[in-house]
């Protein structure tokens, strides 16, 4: 599977930008952040002292997208539930990794 993280995407009329940064793990002990005020997702880069695989970064991206989706739905009780968001990201990653595609689709 290719782990393609976009530089931006649209969500309910808002453009969400995605940026790779090197300070999250150092400043806040985080690997990702959904920044609602600035319309961004920040993902911790792979660093010499903190190695991250492409799959780990992609899962972080999915995790932060789920935060954004819950934020847009005004579901703070779910948005604040890190276990719920993490399990949902794990399930979505498994779907994407194991998906078998139809040879021909009429969609």
pLDDT in tens, 43-62: 999 888 889 999 999 999 99
Rounded Cα–Cα distance for residues 73 and 71 (Å): 5
**What gap in Å lies between CA 83 and CA 101, rounded to an integer?**
30
CATH topology of domain 8-98: Arc Repressor Mutant, subunit A (1.10.10)
- DSSP state, 79? H
pLDDT band at 25 (very low <50, low <70, confident <90, very high): confident
Q: What is the mean pLDDT of the chain?
A: 94
Question: Per-residue DSSP letters for 3-55?
Answer: ----SEEEETTEEEEEEEESSHHHHTS-SEEEETTTTEEEEEPPBTTB---HH
- Residue spans of the domains in the chain: they are 8-98
């Amino acid at each position: 599977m290719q782990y393609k993280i976009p530089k931006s995407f649209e969500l309910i009329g808002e453009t969400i930008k995605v940026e790779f940064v090197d300070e999250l793990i150092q400043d806040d002990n985080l690997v990702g952040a959904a920044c609602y005020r600035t319309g961004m997702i920040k993902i911790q880069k792979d660093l010499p002292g903190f190695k991250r695989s492409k799959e780990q970064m992609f899962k972080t991206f999915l995790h932060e997208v789920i935060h954004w989706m819950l934020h847009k739905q005004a579901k703070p009780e779910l948005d604040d539930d890190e276990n719920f968001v993490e399990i949902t990201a794990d399930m979505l990653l498994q779907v994407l990794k194991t998906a078998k595609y139809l040879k021909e689709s009429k969609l």
